[in-house]
Structure 1
Amino acid sequence: MAIQKLGIMLEVKKEGIVLSKSGPGFEVEGVLNPAVIHYGDYIHMFYRAVGKGNYSSIGYAKFKTPLEVVERMDVPIIFPQFEYEEHGVEDPRIVRIDELFYLSYCAFDGVNALGALATSPDLITWTKHGIIVPQMMFDEFKRLAGTKSKLNEKYFRYNEHEGIKEKNGKKVMIWDKNVVFFPRRINGKLHFLHRIKPDIQIVCVHKLSELTPEFWQNYLLRFKDYVVIYPKLKHEISYIGGGCPPIETKEGWLLIYHGVYDTIKGFVYCACAALLDLEKPDIILARLPYPLFKPEHEWELHGMVNNVCFPTGAIVSNDKLYIYYGAADEHIACTSVSMTELLSELMLNLK
């Protein structure tokens, strides 16, 4: 297994593929972009499974160690049930807050891709709460978000949908994906990251019921104030998005996110790292000036979508950070790195 040397002291080890599609059925086209959580004696993985016609559901596997699968369901644990997700439930992330599991995912209705949420007390029974991000067309977003300051032109490029207002009988909305919750309340509030291209934004509320259309209208009036990270480095210059749920350390919240850059062969997705302030997570303290890891092996370079390392879940075990990611939108792979070394390297790159 290859070891990729980065920076002065940081070693990132590609552990390889940990889960592949199991054959005919709900994951015949691929498995990717998993949520993971260490609870009880096991690591629980909830992953995107792609069936025929690009219809996605969420499968489940149980790991005894970070790399050892001991159980796997042969049917999806979460699947499309409502109109807002009728074409797929995609790209889950999971945390546990106040003894309740929060599984955020992307709901795709065939036209719009929007952040949604399901919760569970036991990882078995799930209650869906619907879409939790703004549901609005680009013109309204542009009007609100551009009130206080001029919008970056990339917001037009990625969200205007070539001026299409309606498709398949549905209004075309701005896409708001990659909803990632922090794993505890901060100053009594729930915090989550979300992504309207090209930046990563943050939201904080006391309770989910606050996320009304009026909330989002007021939020967008001060939209620029809620941008946590924007693309500025070569390996993320096209756009960025949330990855794994933030990990609390004494130096700050460790955030593994994805960065995207364009090449003559198309977009390349890589894993990036940053530190956010513990009490004010809208403040970025540091970020690696290079990708933590990027596509280099055949199973990352070629697949359903080429050149993709898409991190979505992570656990810490004995000072080792295991990062699980979608590889070329077809497999689930894992990378490991020393937490101590990664944090030390980030501290050398304080803003």
Structure 2
Amino acid sequence: MIATAVVPALLVALPAALVAVFCVSGVAKLTDRSGTEAVLSALALGGARARRAVARMLPGAELVLAAVLLVAPAGWMQFGSWLAAGMLAVFSVVVGVLLARGHEVACGCFGALSEEAVSWRTLLRNLALVALAVLTALLAPVGVLPAALVLPLEGWLALAGLAVVALTVAALVLARRVTVLRRALATAGRPLAHPASFGALTGGREGTEWPVPDLEVTDARGRAVELASLAGDRPVLLMLLSAECTPCSRIADAIPGWQGAFGESVRVVALTSASREEFAARYPGLAGVPLYSGYRSLVAMTGLAGVPSAFLLSTSRTVAAGPAEGADEVVALAEAIRSVVPTPVMTAVSLR
């Protein structure tokens, strides 16, 4: 009895899971084409025009494939499922190549929703999706809607049980993301008791300021500079950015507005591991922002998960706030600073 209910439910659940994956991925990529271009750039595939063309076509291809899996009759279903398996296999190869080359780039698998840099966990997730597509090709004879129309009551009950399990797993996966958002909101809404010291913004190390890591970075002339010395006459908002990072583009677009709003109260400085030529080509709008090299040592010393990240360095050689990790927390920290610094002209900051 159980088997007769579960098997028909699986024939609906398997393609439905693939439809959900490709729908989310396609829609997310439509709003974040730069992410796909960044991945292709990291792979050194084609010129800029070719990368833009692929970034435009890929979301549509994923949504069309989702539609095929949703309504496909017999015969077409196997074609669509094997095509999905092939596409996911290609994505897995891309992630593997990025890992092998050591690139710190967001996979762009789900557009701006996937801000973390590629990792072995990304590769395992993609391989699991390949296995899902193969199982769908082998077991599911028709698409989601045709299979659902003939599903008996017991099958619908079993499908509901599978949906509960899937939603529970999804909630666990998103738990860290929710935590990041809560931390970002808490930082953004925290008022400053003393704007000069930024004391109330402190949050990264159990609410206390902590010493700036004892390391050196490289300036535009190739000279070694002590990190703590960057905040000589005024606080510095240190932005860690990569030239191969989709969320970093969002932060880079906002930096000129933030610097204008900070006025003379806080200086924005960028820290990267990319060459200056590569950084300038990726972020032409940051030509006026001081750029230093050597963020890998800072990432290793502080245990950061990746970029974008930010620290507020005080003139007393301490980290007054941070680290802010991920685009949401970086935005929250910058906006919290902007809300309290005395500036003659308050510049509105808008994020794309």
Structure 2 length normalisation: TM-score? 0.21
Greater RCO, CA 8 A, separation 6+ = 2
**CA radius of gyration, larger in:** 2
More helix by share: 2
Structure 1 length normalisation: TM-score? 0.21
